[in-house]
């Protein structure tokens, strides 16, 4: 990004963030509970016939059908390290799912000495997974249950992006491109490394971008095909970034947040060679799940960015003004439910997962 462009983007984001979000009462929307009884649901994906596949952090994968409701947990699902933030996390479909019935899921995989953010592909059968193949595992393993990242997205070229975290106690390694701490990686669907990756000759050739803390939002812009990511800051400094190959997003050398103890992590918010966020939040909203809106039911929201907030229990809409963040709006906050994932369905309605022991799948439509 050119220096002038970066300065303009930063100034625009700062102005946007200085304005309070517009609180919208949940009664302006119709919210329907499609399913409950999900154990800390984390990720979901729509299948061609209108069904949804949903993960549960404790280790389950389940299919929801509009006709028959929530199915039993699939069998032959691999063991997960369901510790603190770890477990069965995001899931997505193969671009050719209609023909191959293949799904990809990201989870904390247990191993000798700890656990690792890993991605496995499998064929979805009748109540089970078959032909399991682990195509990526972050290295090295770490013996804690924090900052796995684990969002998945295929771009228009069929490349799979996987978000990773710094595993909490290795934040300085987010600046080292020879490992997987605090990175976003790009791989082919079989796990092989694309020749065009920016660090293809290094010890971690899958790395696409670096300097991240814990990325829990990932989406592809429906018009430009650009990859957008959203990450948790510490106390303050959650941010959204538009990814550029090989770019350094600064963590922990620059940050708009401080440590939970109140200690200063860095006294710098910008440095040469490090990208400014497209948007950041202070205080943190603990964002998770993001998607650009495309559809007819909320026609006035066309092209806006939807994100979930865990901390402040709401769905947030960010208006897009010529590619820059505009006014922000809050919805459903009065329900008091932590929003873990956000998807726009083929019907244009908005679907949410709530993070709770008795988690829900919600459908959001305009008020009748």
CA distances from residue 74 to 91, 357, 359 in whole angstroms, order as listed: 14, 19, 18
Residues β-bridged to residue 89: none
CB neighbours of residue 59 within 10 Å: 18
Instruction: Tell me if the bond preceding 264 is cis, omega within 30° of 0.
Output: no
Cα 124 from chain centroid? 22
CB neighbours of residue 269 within 10 Å: 16
For 65, phi then psi, to 5°, come to: -115, 135
147 has catalytic annotation? yes
User: Which of the following is catalytic: 26, 40, 147, 232?
Assistant: 147
Indicate which residues carry an active-site annotation. 147
């Amino acid at each position: 990004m050119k220096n002038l462009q970066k300065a303009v983007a930063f100034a625009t984001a700062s102005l946007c963030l200085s304005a309070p979000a517009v609180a919208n009462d949940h009664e302006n929307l119709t919210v329907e509970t499609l399913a409950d009884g999900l154990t800390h649901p984390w990720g979901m994906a729509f299948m061609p016939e209108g069904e949804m596949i949903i993960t549960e952090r404790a280790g389950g994968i389940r299919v929801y059908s509009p006709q028959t409701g929530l199915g039993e947990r699939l069998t032959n699902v691999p063991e997960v390290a369901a510790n603190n933030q770890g477990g069965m996390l995001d899931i997505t479909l193969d671009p050719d799912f209609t023909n191959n019935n293949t799904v990809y899921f990201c989870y904390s995989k247990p191993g000798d000495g700890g656990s690792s953010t890993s991605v496995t592909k499998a064929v979805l059968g009748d109540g089970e997974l078959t032909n399991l193949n682990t195509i990526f595992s972050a290295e090295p393993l770490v013996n804690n249950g924090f900052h796995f990242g684990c969002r998945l997205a295929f771009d228009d070229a069929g490349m799979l992006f996987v978000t990773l975290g710094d595993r909490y106690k290795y934040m300085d390694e987010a600046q080292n491109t020879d490992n997987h701490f605090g990175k976003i990686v790009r791989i082919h669907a079989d796990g092989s490394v694309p020749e065009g990756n920016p660090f293809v000759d290094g010890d971690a050739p899958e790395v696409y971008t670096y300097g991240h803390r814990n990325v829990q939002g990932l989406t592809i812009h429906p018009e430009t095909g650009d990859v957008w990511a959203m990450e948790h800051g510490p106390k303050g400094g959650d941010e959204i970034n538009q990814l550029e190959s090989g770019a350094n997003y600064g963590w922990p050398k620059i940050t708009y947040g401080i440590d939970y103890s109140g200690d200063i992590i860095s006294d710098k918010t910008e440095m040469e060679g490090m990208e400014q966020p497209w948007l950041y939040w202070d205080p943190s909203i603990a964002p998770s799940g993001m998607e650009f809106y495309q559809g007819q039911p909320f026609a006035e929201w066309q092209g806006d960015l939807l994100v979930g907030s865990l901390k402040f229990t709401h769905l947030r809409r960010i208006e897009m003004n010529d590619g820059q963040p505009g006014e922000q709006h809050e919805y459903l906050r009065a329900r008091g439910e932590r929003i873990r994932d956000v998807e726009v369905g083929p019907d244009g309605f908005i679907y949410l997962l709530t993070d709770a022991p008795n988690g829900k799948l919600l459908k959001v439509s305009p008020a009748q």
